[in-house]
Structure 1
Protein backbone atom coordinates (compact mmCIF):
# COMPACT_ATOMS: atom_id res chain seq x y z
CA UNK A 1 0.00 0.00 0.00
CA UNK A 2 2.82 2.43 0.92
CA UNK A 3 4.70 1.51 -2.26
CA UNK A 4 1.61 2.26 -4.34
CA UNK A 5 1.18 5.64 -2.67
CA UNK A 6 4.83 6.45 -3.31
CA UNK A 7 4.47 5.65 -6.98
CA UNK A 8 1.37 7.82 -7.18
CA UNK A 9 3.23 10.71 -5.58
CA UNK A 10 6.14 10.47 -8.04
CA UNK A 11 3.78 10.13 -10.99
CA UNK A 12 1.68 13.04 -9.80
CA UNK A 13 4.77 15.21 -9.36
CA UNK A 14 5.94 14.52 -12.91
CA UNK A 15 2.51 15.19 -14.33
CA UNK A 16 2.21 18.34 -12.27
CA UNK A 17 5.38 19.82 -13.73
CA UNK A 18 4.24 19.11 -17.27
CA UNK A 19 0.73 20.55 -16.91
CA UNK A 20 -0.28 24.12 -17.55
CA UNK A 21 -1.16 26.24 -14.49
CA UNK A 22 -4.90 26.03 -15.07
CA UNK A 23 -4.93 22.26 -14.88
CA UNK A 24 -2.49 22.08 -12.03
CA UNK A 25 -5.11 22.98 -9.44
CA UNK A 26 -7.45 20.28 -10.73
CA UNK A 27 -4.68 17.70 -10.70
CA UNK A 28 -3.79 18.61 -7.12
CA UNK A 29 -7.41 18.22 -6.05
CA UNK A 30 -7.65 14.93 -7.92
CA UNK A 31 -4.49 13.63 -6.28
CA UNK A 32 -5.61 14.72 -2.80
CA UNK A 33 -8.93 12.96 -3.27
CA UNK A 34 -7.18 9.86 -4.53
CA UNK A 35 -4.73 9.95 -1.62
CA UNK A 36 -7.49 10.39 0.97
CA UNK A 37 -9.54 7.62 -0.62
CA UNK A 38 -6.56 5.27 -0.63
CA UNK A 39 -5.72 6.05 2.99
CA UNK A 40 -9.34 5.62 4.05
CA UNK A 41 -9.55 2.27 2.26
CA UNK A 42 -6.30 1.13 3.88
CA UNK A 43 -7.48 2.17 7.35
CA UNK A 44 -10.82 0.41 6.86
CA UNK A 45 -9.03 -2.77 5.81
CA UNK A 46 -6.69 -2.58 8.80
CA UNK A 47 -9.60 -2.01 11.16
CA UNK A 48 -11.59 -4.88 9.63
CA UNK A 49 -8.59 -7.18 9.95
CA UNK A 50 -8.16 -6.22 13.60
CA UNK A 51 -11.85 -6.79 14.28
CA UNK A 52 -11.67 -10.16 12.52
CA UNK A 53 -8.69 -11.22 14.64
CA UNK A 54 -10.42 -10.02 17.83
CA UNK A 55 -13.57 -11.93 16.87
CA UNK A 56 -11.59 -15.12 16.21
CA UNK A 57 -9.73 -14.70 19.49
CA UNK A 58 -12.99 -14.18 21.38
CA UNK A 59 -14.59 -17.22 19.73
CA UNK A 60 -11.57 -19.37 20.58
CA UNK A 61 -11.69 -18.09 24.15
CA UNK A 62 -15.41 -18.90 24.42
CA UNK A 63 -14.81 -22.32 22.84
CA UNK A 64 -12.10 -23.10 25.40
CA UNK A 65 -14.36 -21.92 28.22
CA UNK A 66 -17.24 -24.11 27.02
CA UNK A 67 -14.87 -27.05 26.60
CA UNK A 68 -13.57 -26.51 30.14
CA UNK A 69 -17.11 -26.31 31.56
CA UNK A 70 -18.12 -29.51 29.73
CA UNK A 71 -15.02 -31.24 31.05
CA UNK A 72 -15.82 -30.12 34.60
CA UNK A 73 -19.41 -31.30 34.20
CA UNK A 74 -18.33 -34.71 32.93
CA UNK A 75 -15.75 -35.08 35.69
CA UNK A 76 -18.31 -34.21 38.35
CA UNK A 77 -20.73 -36.70 36.82
CA UNK A 78 -18.08 -39.41 36.89
CA UNK A 79 -17.26 -38.61 40.52
CA UNK A 80 -20.92 -38.88 41.43
CA UNK A 81 -20.98 -42.33 39.83
CA UNK A 82 -18.04 -43.49 41.94
CA UNK A 83 -19.50 -42.52 45.31
CA UNK A 84 -22.71 -44.62 45.31
CA UNK A 85 -20.87 -47.48 43.59
CA UNK A 86 -18.29 -47.54 46.37
CA UNK A 87 -20.86 -47.19 49.14
CA UNK A 88 -23.06 -49.95 47.72
CA UNK A 89 -20.22 -52.47 47.72
CA UNK A 90 -18.97 -51.44 51.16
CA UNK A 91 -22.42 -51.61 52.72
CA UNK A 92 -22.84 -55.08 51.24
CA UNK A 93 -19.74 -56.14 53.14
CA UNK A 94 -21.08 -54.65 56.38
CA UNK A 95 -24.43 -56.35 55.84
CA UNK A 96 -22.67 -59.69 55.42
CA UNK A 97 -20.77 -59.21 58.67
CA UNK A 98 -23.96 -58.22 60.47
CA UNK A 99 -25.74 -61.37 59.26
CA UNK A 100 -22.83 -63.45 60.50
CA UNK A 101 -22.93 -61.52 63.81
CA UNK A 102 -19.22 -60.92 63.44
CA UNK A 103 -17.30 -59.44 66.36
CA UNK A 104 -15.39 -57.38 63.81
CA UNK A 105 -18.44 -55.30 62.92
CA UNK A 106 -17.54 -52.36 65.26
CA UNK A 107 -14.04 -52.25 63.74
CA UNK A 108 -15.53 -52.27 60.26
CA UNK A 109 -17.84 -49.38 61.07
CA UNK A 110 -14.91 -47.39 62.43
CA UNK A 111 -12.90 -48.03 59.27
CA UNK A 112 -15.91 -47.11 57.17
CA UNK A 113 -16.11 -43.71 58.89
CA UNK A 114 -12.56 -42.97 57.72
CA UNK A 115 -13.42 -44.04 54.19
CA UNK A 116 -16.52 -41.86 54.19
CA UNK A 117 -14.49 -38.86 55.33
CA UNK A 118 -12.19 -39.35 52.37
CA UNK A 119 -15.10 -39.96 50.03
CA UNK A 120 -17.18 -36.94 51.04
CA UNK A 121 -14.52 -34.32 51.67
CA UNK A 122 -11.02 -35.06 50.41
CA UNK A 123 -12.00 -36.68 47.11
CA UNK A 124 -13.65 -33.44 45.94
CA UNK A 125 -10.22 -32.03 45.13
CA UNK A 126 -8.80 -32.34 41.62
CA UNK A 127 -5.60 -33.83 43.04
CA UNK A 128 -4.78 -35.65 46.28
CA UNK A 129 -1.58 -37.01 47.75
CA UNK A 130 -0.70 -40.44 46.42
CA UNK A 131 -0.09 -41.66 49.96
CA UNK A 132 -3.75 -40.90 50.78
CA UNK A 133 -4.87 -43.01 47.84
CA UNK A 134 -2.67 -45.84 49.07
CA UNK A 135 -4.11 -45.51 52.58
CA UNK A 136 -7.62 -45.71 51.10
CA UNK A 137 -6.68 -48.95 49.34
CA UNK A 138 -5.22 -50.41 52.53
CA UNK A 139 -8.38 -49.62 54.51
CA UNK A 140 -10.61 -51.04 51.80
CA UNK A 141 -8.53 -54.22 51.59
CA UNK A 142 -8.70 -54.55 55.38
CA UNK A 143 -12.50 -54.48 55.12
CA UNK A 144 -12.45 -57.18 52.47
CA UNK A 145 -10.11 -59.32 54.55
CA UNK A 146 -12.56 -59.23 57.45
CA UNK A 147 -15.41 -60.15 55.15
CA UNK A 148 -13.54 -63.01 53.46
CA UNK A 149 -11.92 -64.35 56.63
CA UNK A 150 -8.47 -64.09 55.04
CA UNK A 151 -9.39 -66.66 52.39
CA UNK A 152 -6.81 -65.24 50.01
CA UNK A 153 -3.11 -64.49 49.98
CA UNK A 154 -2.25 -60.80 49.95
CA UNK A 155 1.02 -59.24 48.79
CA UNK A 156 1.41 -55.47 48.68
CA UNK A 157 4.55 -53.58 47.75
CA UNK A 158 4.29 -49.79 47.66
CA UNK A 159 7.50 -48.26 46.37
CA UNK A 160 8.39 -44.58 46.17
CA UNK A 161 5.25 -43.17 47.79
CA UNK A 162 6.41 -39.63 48.57
CA UNK A 163 4.19 -36.92 50.15
CA UNK A 164 4.72 -34.52 47.24
CA UNK A 165 3.30 -36.85 44.60
CA UNK A 166 -0.33 -36.14 43.70
CA UNK A 167 -2.85 -37.90 41.47
CA UNK A 168 -6.56 -37.79 40.71
CA UNK A 169 -8.64 -39.14 43.64
CA UNK A 170 -10.21 -42.62 43.38
CA UNK A 171 -8.07 -43.42 40.36
CA UNK A 172 -6.54 -46.62 41.73
CA UNK A 173 -9.54 -47.89 43.65
CA UNK A 174 -11.56 -49.37 40.71
CA UNK A 175 -8.72 -51.73 39.79
CA UNK A 176 -8.52 -53.17 43.30
CA UNK A 177 -12.30 -53.29 43.66
CA UNK A 178 -12.64 -55.26 40.43
CA UNK A 179 -9.96 -57.69 41.58
CA UNK A 180 -12.12 -58.52 44.61
CA UNK A 181 -15.53 -58.37 43.00
CA UNK A 182 -14.85 -60.35 39.83
CA UNK A 183 -11.72 -62.27 40.76
CA UNK A 184 -11.00 -63.19 44.37
CA UNK A 185 -14.59 -63.55 45.55
CA UNK A 186 -15.30 -65.93 42.66
CA UNK A 187 -12.15 -68.03 43.09
CA UNK A 188 -12.91 -71.10 45.17
CA UNK A 189 -9.35 -71.89 46.21
CA UNK A 190 -5.77 -70.60 45.99
CA UNK A 191 -6.98 -67.02 45.64
CA UNK A 192 -4.38 -64.29 45.78
CA UNK A 193 -3.96 -60.56 45.24
CA UNK A 194 -0.71 -58.79 44.38
CA UNK A 195 -0.53 -54.99 44.36
CA UNK A 196 2.61 -53.16 43.30
CA UNK A 197 3.50 -49.50 42.81
CA UNK A 198 6.70 -48.42 41.10
CA UNK A 199 8.29 -45.34 39.58
CA UNK A 200 10.35 -45.23 36.41
CA UNK A 201 11.78 -41.76 35.71
CA UNK A 202 8.62 -39.59 35.52
CA UNK A 203 6.18 -42.51 35.24
CA UNK A 204 4.04 -43.93 38.01
CA UNK A 205 3.14 -47.60 37.59
CA UNK A 206 0.29 -49.30 39.43
CA UNK A 207 -0.17 -53.02 38.96
CA UNK A 208 -2.92 -55.28 40.29
CA UNK A 209 -2.76 -59.04 39.75
CA UNK A 210 -5.27 -61.54 41.07
CA UNK A 211 -6.18 -65.19 40.71
CA UNK A 212 -8.54 -66.05 37.90
CA UNK A 213 -11.95 -67.59 38.63
CA UNK A 214 -13.21 -70.56 36.68
CA UNK A 215 -16.06 -68.52 35.26
CA UNK A 216 -14.60 -65.77 33.09
CA UNK A 217 -16.30 -62.41 33.57
CA UNK A 218 -13.59 -60.15 34.91
CA UNK A 219 -12.77 -56.81 33.33
CA UNK A 220 -15.48 -56.90 30.74
CA UNK A 221 -16.00 -53.64 28.89
CA UNK A 222 -19.42 -52.93 30.39
CA UNK A 223 -18.20 -52.70 33.98
CA UNK A 224 -19.13 -49.40 35.62
CA UNK A 225 -15.93 -49.07 37.62
CA UNK A 226 -13.43 -49.64 34.82
CA UNK A 227 -15.44 -47.74 32.22
CA UNK A 228 -15.53 -44.81 34.63
CA UNK A 229 -11.78 -45.19 35.15
CA UNK A 230 -11.05 -45.10 31.42
CA UNK A 231 -13.10 -41.96 30.91
CA UNK A 232 -11.48 -40.19 33.84
CA UNK A 233 -8.02 -41.13 32.59
CA UNK A 234 -8.85 -39.68 29.17
CA UNK A 235 -10.00 -36.44 30.80
CA UNK A 236 -7.29 -36.01 33.42
CA UNK A 237 -4.35 -37.60 31.64
CA UNK A 238 -4.91 -37.36 27.87
CA UNK A 239 -1.89 -38.81 26.05
CA UNK A 240 -0.23 -39.24 29.45
CA UNK A 241 -1.40 -42.68 30.46
CA UNK A 242 -1.53 -46.29 29.37
CA UNK A 243 -3.99 -48.81 30.78
CA UNK A 244 -3.81 -52.45 29.80
CA UNK A 245 -5.24 -55.76 30.95
CA UNK A 246 -3.30 -59.01 30.65
CA UNK A 247 -4.78 -62.44 31.30
CA UNK A 248 -3.58 -66.02 31.27
CA UNK A 249 -5.23 -69.27 32.30
CA UNK A 250 -4.20 -68.60 35.90
CA UNK A 251 -4.48 -64.86 36.54
CA UNK A 252 -5.62 -61.42 35.49
CA UNK A 253 -3.37 -58.40 35.63
CA UNK A 254 -4.27 -54.73 35.22
CA UNK A 255 -1.43 -52.26 34.72
CA UNK A 256 -1.83 -48.48 34.80
CA UNK A 257 1.03 -46.18 33.81
CA UNK A 258 0.75 -42.41 34.28
CA UNK A 259 3.20 -39.69 33.34
CA UNK A 260 3.40 -37.33 36.30
Structure 2
Protein backbone atom coordinates (compact mmCIF):
# COMPACT_ATOMS: atom_id res chain seq x y z
CA UNK A 1 0.00 0.00 0.00
CA UNK A 2 1.46 3.33 -1.07
CA UNK A 3 2.06 6.14 1.46
CA UNK A 4 -0.55 8.27 -0.34
CA UNK A 5 -3.26 5.61 0.11
CA UNK A 6 -2.31 5.12 3.76
CA UNK A 7 -2.55 8.86 4.33
CA UNK A 8 -5.99 9.06 2.66
CA UNK A 9 -7.29 6.19 4.80
CA UNK A 10 -6.08 7.98 7.92
CA UNK A 11 -7.70 11.25 6.79
CA UNK A 12 -11.02 9.51 6.15
CA UNK A 13 -10.88 7.96 9.62
CA UNK A 14 -10.27 11.40 11.13
CA UNK A 15 -13.13 12.86 9.09
CA UNK A 16 -15.44 9.99 10.14
CA UNK A 17 -14.67 10.62 13.81
CA UNK A 18 -15.46 14.30 13.22
CA UNK A 19 -18.84 13.32 11.70
CA UNK A 20 -19.55 10.95 14.58
CA UNK A 21 -19.03 13.75 17.09
CA UNK A 22 -21.05 16.15 14.92
CA UNK A 23 -24.05 13.86 14.29
CA UNK A 24 -24.39 12.15 17.66
CA UNK A 25 -26.15 15.11 19.39
CA UNK A 26 -28.85 14.96 16.67
CA UNK A 27 -29.97 11.60 18.06
CA UNK A 28 -30.31 12.92 21.60
CA UNK A 29 -33.98 13.76 21.12
CA UNK A 30 -37.16 12.69 22.96
CA UNK A 31 -38.16 10.30 20.15
CA UNK A 32 -34.76 8.56 20.45
CA UNK A 33 -34.71 8.45 24.24
CA UNK A 34 -35.46 4.71 24.22
CA UNK A 35 -32.20 4.02 22.35
CA UNK A 36 -29.09 3.07 24.28
CA UNK A 37 -25.81 4.88 23.66
CA UNK A 38 -24.43 1.92 21.74
CA UNK A 39 -27.52 1.92 19.51
CA UNK A 40 -27.15 5.65 18.91
CA UNK A 41 -23.48 5.26 17.97
CA UNK A 42 -24.34 2.38 15.62
CA UNK A 43 -27.07 4.47 14.01
CA UNK A 44 -24.68 7.38 13.44
CA UNK A 45 -22.07 5.01 11.99
CA UNK A 46 -24.69 3.67 9.56
CA UNK A 47 -25.50 7.23 8.48
CA UNK A 48 -21.81 7.88 7.84
CA UNK A 49 -21.47 4.64 5.87
CA UNK A 50 -24.48 5.31 3.63
CA UNK A 51 -23.38 8.88 2.93
CA UNK A 52 -19.83 7.74 2.20
CA UNK A 53 -20.30 7.05 -1.57
CA UNK A 54 -21.46 10.63 -2.14
CA UNK A 55 -18.39 12.00 -0.36
CA UNK A 56 -16.05 9.67 -2.26
CA UNK A 57 -17.62 10.87 -5.53
CA UNK A 58 -17.01 14.58 -4.91
CA UNK A 59 -13.48 13.94 -3.63
CA UNK A 60 -12.11 11.41 -6.14
CA UNK A 61 -13.94 11.94 -9.46
CA UNK A 62 -13.11 15.53 -10.33
CA UNK A 63 -10.96 16.98 -7.56
CA UNK A 64 -7.59 15.31 -8.44
CA UNK A 65 -7.80 16.50 -12.07
CA UNK A 66 -8.72 20.00 -10.91
CA UNK A 67 -5.68 20.19 -8.60
CA UNK A 68 -3.34 18.81 -11.29
CA UNK A 69 -4.65 21.46 -13.67
CA UNK A 70 -3.99 24.22 -11.13
CA UNK A 71 -0.47 23.08 -10.21
CA UNK A 72 0.85 21.39 -13.37
CA UNK A 73 -1.47 22.90 -16.03
CA UNK A 74 -2.44 19.34 -17.01
CA UNK A 75 -5.57 18.92 -19.14
CA UNK A 76 -8.08 21.33 -20.63
CA UNK A 77 -9.28 23.83 -18.03
CA UNK A 78 -12.91 23.83 -19.22
CA UNK A 79 -13.07 20.02 -19.30
CA UNK A 80 -11.57 19.81 -15.81
CA UNK A 81 -14.13 22.28 -14.40
CA UNK A 82 -17.01 20.42 -16.09
CA UNK A 83 -15.69 17.16 -14.62
CA UNK A 84 -15.54 18.73 -11.16
CA UNK A 85 -19.11 20.06 -11.46
CA UNK A 86 -20.28 16.64 -12.67
CA UNK A 87 -18.69 14.99 -9.64
CA UNK A 88 -20.52 17.45 -7.37
CA UNK A 89 -23.86 16.71 -9.06
CA UNK A 90 -23.25 12.95 -8.78
CA UNK A 91 -22.29 13.37 -5.14
CA UNK A 92 -25.41 15.39 -4.31
CA UNK A 93 -27.67 12.85 -6.06
CA UNK A 94 -26.06 9.96 -4.16
CA UNK A 95 -26.48 11.96 -0.97
CA UNK A 96 -30.19 12.54 -1.69
CA UNK A 97 -30.74 8.88 -2.58
CA UNK A 98 -29.17 7.72 0.69
CA UNK A 99 -31.38 10.11 2.65
CA UNK A 100 -34.54 9.32 0.70
CA UNK A 101 -34.35 5.52 0.58
CA UNK A 102 -32.58 4.60 3.81
CA UNK A 103 -31.52 7.18 6.36
CA UNK A 104 -34.79 9.04 6.90
CA UNK A 105 -37.22 6.11 6.44
CA UNK A 106 -35.33 3.52 8.52
CA UNK A 107 -33.16 5.47 10.97
CA UNK A 108 -35.34 8.50 11.58
CA UNK A 109 -38.68 6.87 10.62
CA UNK A 110 -39.60 9.86 8.44
CA UNK A 111 -41.90 9.63 5.44
CA UNK A 112 -40.90 10.33 1.82
CA UNK A 113 -42.93 13.54 1.94
CA UNK A 114 -40.69 14.80 4.74
CA UNK A 115 -37.54 14.12 2.72
CA UNK A 116 -38.73 16.05 -0.39
CA UNK A 117 -36.21 14.52 -2.80
CA UNK A 118 -36.30 17.37 -5.35
CA UNK A 119 -36.23 20.22 -2.84
CA UNK A 120 -33.79 22.89 -4.08
CA UNK A 121 -33.09 24.07 -0.54
CA UNK A 122 -32.18 20.57 0.58
CA UNK A 123 -29.95 20.14 -2.48
CA UNK A 124 -28.04 23.26 -1.40
CA UNK A 125 -27.84 21.99 2.17
CA UNK A 126 -26.46 18.64 1.02
CA UNK A 127 -23.99 20.38 -1.28
CA UNK A 128 -22.75 22.49 1.66
CA UNK A 129 -22.18 19.29 3.63
CA UNK A 130 -20.20 17.79 0.74
CA UNK A 131 -17.95 20.85 0.47
CA UNK A 132 -16.36 19.96 3.83
CA UNK A 133 -14.49 16.83 2.58
CA UNK A 134 -13.82 18.57 -0.74
CA UNK A 135 -12.11 21.50 0.98
CA UNK A 136 -10.43 19.22 3.53
CA UNK A 137 -8.85 16.88 0.97
CA UNK A 138 -8.44 19.60 -1.65
CA UNK A 139 -6.34 21.77 0.66
CA UNK A 140 -4.10 18.84 1.65
CA UNK A 141 -3.68 17.61 -1.94
CA UNK A 142 -3.03 21.12 -3.23
CA UNK A 143 -0.33 21.67 -0.60
CA UNK A 144 1.29 18.31 -1.42
CA UNK A 145 1.11 18.92 -5.18
CA UNK A 146 2.74 22.35 -4.90
CA UNK A 147 5.41 21.02 -2.56
CA UNK A 148 6.11 18.15 -4.98
CA UNK A 149 6.21 20.55 -7.93
CA UNK A 150 8.71 22.77 -6.08
CA UNK A 151 10.85 19.73 -5.25
CA UNK A 152 10.80 18.57 -8.88
CA UNK A 153 11.72 22.06 -10.05
CA UNK A 154 14.60 22.18 -7.58
CA UNK A 155 15.79 18.70 -8.62
CA UNK A 156 15.74 19.71 -12.29
CA UNK A 157 17.66 22.90 -11.56
CA UNK A 158 20.19 20.99 -9.48
CA UNK A 159 20.69 18.39 -12.21
CA UNK A 160 21.04 21.17 -14.78
CA UNK A 161 23.74 22.83 -12.67
CA UNK A 162 25.60 19.52 -12.34
CA UNK A 163 25.30 18.80 -16.06
CA UNK A 164 26.50 22.30 -16.88
CA UNK A 165 29.51 21.95 -14.60
CA UNK A 166 30.77 18.68 -16.15
CA UNK A 167 31.53 19.95 -19.71
CA UNK A 168 32.85 23.21 -18.23
CA UNK A 169 35.24 21.24 -16.04
CA UNK A 170 36.22 18.96 -18.94
CA UNK A 171 37.08 21.95 -21.12
CA UNK A 172 39.41 23.44 -18.50
CA UNK A 173 40.94 20.07 -17.60
CA UNK A 174 41.76 19.35 -21.24
CA UNK A 175 43.38 22.77 -21.49
CA UNK A 176 45.56 21.79 -18.54
CA UNK A 177 46.63 18.55 -20.21
CA UNK A 178 47.12 20.27 -23.57
CA UNK A 179 50.20 22.00 -22.19
CA UNK A 180 51.76 18.62 -21.39
CA UNK A 181 50.88 17.19 -24.81
CA UNK A 182 52.30 20.21 -26.63
CA UNK A 183 55.63 19.75 -24.83
CA UNK A 184 55.61 15.98 -25.56
CA UNK A 185 55.71 15.48 -21.81
CA UNK A 186 55.71 11.81 -20.80
CA UNK A 187 53.25 12.71 -18.03
CA UNK A 188 50.49 13.53 -20.55
CA UNK A 189 49.27 9.92 -20.76
CA UNK A 190 49.19 9.63 -16.98
CA UNK A 191 47.26 12.90 -16.74
CA UNK A 192 44.68 11.62 -19.25
CA UNK A 193 44.28 8.45 -17.19
CA UNK A 194 43.64 10.54 -14.07
CA UNK A 195 41.14 12.64 -16.02
CA UNK A 196 39.22 9.56 -17.19
CA UNK A 197 38.71 8.57 -13.54
CA UNK A 198 37.36 12.04 -12.75
CA UNK A 199 34.99 11.97 -15.73
CA UNK A 200 33.70 8.55 -14.68
CA UNK A 201 32.95 10.07 -11.28
CA UNK A 202 31.19 13.09 -12.82
CA UNK A 203 29.06 10.88 -15.08
CA UNK A 204 27.89 8.33 -12.51
CA UNK A 205 28.50 9.42 -8.92
CA UNK A 206 27.07 12.93 -9.31
CA UNK A 207 23.64 11.45 -10.08
CA UNK A 208 23.29 10.79 -6.34
CA UNK A 209 22.23 13.55 -3.96
CA UNK A 210 24.91 12.57 -1.41
CA UNK A 211 28.07 10.47 -1.52
CA UNK A 212 30.80 9.58 0.96
CA UNK A 213 33.22 12.43 1.59
CA UNK A 214 35.99 9.88 1.10
CA UNK A 215 34.97 9.46 -2.57
CA UNK A 216 34.90 13.20 -3.12
CA UNK A 217 38.39 13.55 -1.63
CA UNK A 218 39.68 10.74 -3.87
CA UNK A 219 38.53 12.70 -6.93
CA UNK A 220 40.10 15.86 -5.51
CA UNK A 221 43.37 13.96 -5.17
CA UNK A 222 43.17 12.82 -8.82
CA UNK A 223 42.66 16.39 -9.94
CA UNK A 224 45.57 17.57 -7.79
CA UNK A 225 47.74 14.84 -9.31
CA UNK A 226 46.99 16.25 -12.77
CA UNK A 227 48.04 19.70 -11.62
CA UNK A 228 51.19 18.31 -9.97
CA UNK A 229 52.12 16.73 -13.30
CA UNK A 230 51.52 20.06 -14.96
CA UNK A 231 53.12 22.47 -12.49
CA UNK A 232 55.48 20.42 -10.36
CA UNK A 233 55.92 21.67 -6.79
CA UNK A 234 53.86 24.86 -7.02
CA UNK A 235 51.11 23.20 -4.98
CA UNK A 236 51.12 23.16 -1.19
CA UNK A 237 48.50 20.89 0.33
CA UNK A 238 47.47 20.65 3.98
CA UNK A 239 44.72 18.29 5.14
CA UNK A 240 43.28 17.29 8.49
CA UNK A 241 40.98 14.27 8.26
CA UNK A 242 40.34 10.99 10.07
CA UNK A 243 38.87 7.72 8.86
CA UNK A 244 35.70 8.38 10.88
CA UNK A 245 35.10 11.81 9.39
CA UNK A 246 35.68 10.49 5.87
CA UNK A 247 32.47 8.48 6.29
CA UNK A 248 30.43 11.70 6.34
CA UNK A 249 28.18 12.44 3.36
CA UNK A 250 28.58 15.39 0.99
CA UNK A 251 26.95 16.52 -2.24
CA UNK A 252 29.16 15.31 -5.11
CA UNK A 253 31.26 17.71 -7.14
CA UNK A 254 31.26 20.65 -4.71
CA UNK A 255 35.02 20.93 -4.21
CA UNK A 256 36.19 20.61 -7.82
CA UNK A 257 34.86 24.01 -9.01
CA UNK A 258 36.91 25.74 -6.29
CA UNK A 259 40.09 23.93 -7.29
CA UNK A 260 39.41 24.43 -10.98
CA UNK A 261 38.98 28.18 -10.47
CA UNK A 262 42.26 28.40 -8.55
CA UNK A 263 44.25 26.63 -11.25
CA UNK A 264 42.76 28.67 -14.08
CA UNK A 265 44.51 31.83 -12.91
CA UNK A 266 47.80 32.91 -11.52
CA UNK A 267 50.15 30.78 -13.60
CA UNK A 268 51.07 33.11 -16.41
CA UNK A 269 54.09 34.20 -14.36
CA UNK A 270 54.85 30.86 -12.74
CA UNK A 271 58.61 31.47 -12.67
CA UNK A 272 58.11 34.09 -9.94
CA UNK A 273 57.07 31.50 -7.39
CA UNK A 274 53.32 31.45 -7.92
CA UNK A 275 51.60 28.77 -5.84
CA UNK A 276 48.25 27.41 -4.72
CA UNK A 277 47.56 26.68 -1.07
CA UNK A 278 44.85 24.17 -0.25
CA UNK A 279 43.73 23.49 3.33
CA UNK A 280 41.10 20.82 4.05
CA UNK A 281 39.80 20.42 7.59
CA UNK A 282 37.03 18.36 9.16
CA UNK A 283 36.18 19.14 12.77
CA UNK A 284 34.53 16.91 15.34
CA UNK A 285 31.24 18.83 15.00
CA UNK A 286 31.09 17.64 11.35
CA UNK A 287 32.05 21.05 9.99
CA UNK A 288 33.93 20.66 6.72
CA UNK A 289 36.19 23.55 5.75
CA UNK A 290 38.20 24.16 2.59
CA UNK A 291 40.42 27.19 2.08
CA UNK A 292 42.11 27.84 -1.27
CA UNK A 293 44.49 30.71 -1.92
CA UNK A 294 46.60 31.53 -4.96
CA UNK A 295 48.54 34.44 -6.41
CA UNK A 296 46.84 36.33 -9.19
CA UNK A 297 48.12 38.97 -11.56
CA UNK A 298 46.56 42.40 -12.08
CA UNK A 299 45.44 41.43 -15.59
CA UNK A 300 43.50 38.44 -14.24
CA UNK A 301 41.60 40.16 -11.43
CA UNK A 302 38.50 40.76 -13.55
CA UNK A 303 38.46 37.19 -14.86
CA UNK A 304 38.18 35.35 -11.54
CA UNK A 305 34.92 33.53 -10.96
CA UNK A 306 32.88 32.51 -13.95
CA UNK A 307 30.32 29.79 -14.54
CA UNK A 308 31.83 27.23 -12.16
CA UNK A 309 31.58 29.44 -9.07
CA UNK A 310 28.13 30.76 -10.03
CA UNK A 311 26.87 27.19 -10.26
CA UNK A 312 28.56 26.32 -6.98
CA UNK A 313 26.88 29.21 -5.15
CA UNK A 314 23.46 28.21 -6.45
CA UNK A 315 24.01 24.56 -5.53
CA UNK A 316 24.97 25.57 -2.01
CA UNK A 317 21.76 27.60 -1.70
CA UNK A 318 19.72 24.57 -2.76
CA UNK A 319 21.53 21.75 -0.98
CA UNK A 320 22.88 23.46 2.14
CA UNK A 321 20.41 26.25 3.00
CA UNK A 322 21.49 27.89 6.23
CA UNK A 323 24.32 25.39 6.82
CA UNK A 324 27.06 26.79 4.61
CA UNK A 325 29.35 29.78 4.38
CA UNK A 326 31.11 30.72 1.17
CA UNK A 327 33.41 33.67 0.68
CA UNK A 328 35.69 34.65 -2.18
CA UNK A 329 37.76 37.82 -2.27
CA UNK A 330 40.94 39.53 -3.48
CA UNK A 331 43.49 40.42 -0.82
CA UNK A 332 47.14 41.53 -1.18
CA UNK A 333 47.54 40.04 -4.66
CA UNK A 334 45.92 36.79 -3.55
CA UNK A 335 42.61 35.26 -4.48
CA UNK A 336 41.01 33.56 -1.46
CA UNK A 337 38.07 31.15 -1.53
CA UNK A 338 36.74 29.74 1.73
CA UNK A 339 33.90 27.22 1.99
CA UNK A 340 32.43 25.80 5.21
CA UNK A 341 29.74 23.12 5.30
CA UNK A 342 27.93 21.23 8.04
CA UNK A 343 27.94 17.61 6.87
CA UNK A 344 25.82 14.66 7.92
In the other structure, the counterpart of 1:205 is: 289
User: Contact 1:187–1:212 (CA<8 Å) still a contact in 2?
Assistant: no
User: Within 5 A, what are the aligned runs for 1:170-185?
Assistant: 170-185=253-268
In the other structure, the counterpart of 1:14 is: none
> How far is the alpha carbon of 1:45 from its aligned partner?
4.1
Task: List gaps (5 residues or longer) in structure 2.
Answer: 1-21, 31-110, 116-120
**Alignment size in residue pairs:** 237
* Alignment partners' CA distance in 1, 2:162 and 2:132: 45
Aligned-partner SS, 1:170: coil
Q: 1:154 aligns with which of 211, 216, 236?
A: 236
* Alignment partners' CA distance in 2, 1:230 and 1:179: 16
Task: List gaps (5 residues or longer) in structure 1.
Answer: 11-28
User: Contact 2:329–2:337 (CA<8 Å) still a contact in 1?
Assistant: yes
Q: 2:159 aligns with which of 59, 73, 76?
A: 76
CA-based RMSD of the aligned residues comes to 3.3
Q: 1:121 aligns with which of 189, 198, 204?
A: 204
Bigger drift between 155-164 and 56-65 goes to: 155-164
Aligned-partner SS, 1:247: strand
Aligned-partner SS, 1:169: coil
Ranked by relative contact order (alpha carbons within 8 Å, sequence separation 6 or more), the top structure is 1
**C-alpha distance after superposition, 1:10-63 (max 9, x if no partner):** 9xxxxxxxxxxxxxxxxxx9xx88xxxx99987754531221121111111111
User: Contact 1:188–1:213 (CA<8 Å) still a contact in 2?
Assistant: no
Aligned-partner SS, 1:64: helix
> How far is the alpha carbon of 1:218 from its aligned partner?
6.1
Q: What is the TM-score with the length of structure 2 in the denominator? A: 0.60
Choose between structure 1 and 2: higher strand proportion: 1
In the other structure, the counterpart of 2:180 is: 97
Aligned-partner SS, 2:254: coil
User: Contact 1:190–1:211 (CA<8 Å) still a contact in 2?
Assistant: no
Q: 1:165 aligned to 2:248?
A: yes
User: Contact 2:330–2:336 (CA<8 Å) still a contact in 1?
Assistant: yes
User: Contact 1:178–1:218 (CA<8 Å) still a contact in 2?
Assistant: no
* Alignment partners' CA distance in 1, 2:159 and 2:174: 23
In the other structure, the counterpart of 1:144 is: 227
Choose between structure 1 and 2: higher helix proportion: 2
* Alignment partners' CA distance in 1, 2:294 and 2:257: 14
Q: What is the TM-score with the length of structure 1 in the denominator? A: 0.77
* Alignment partners' CA distance in 1, 2:317 and 2:146: 19
* Alignment partners' CA distance in 1, 2:206 and 2:219: 11
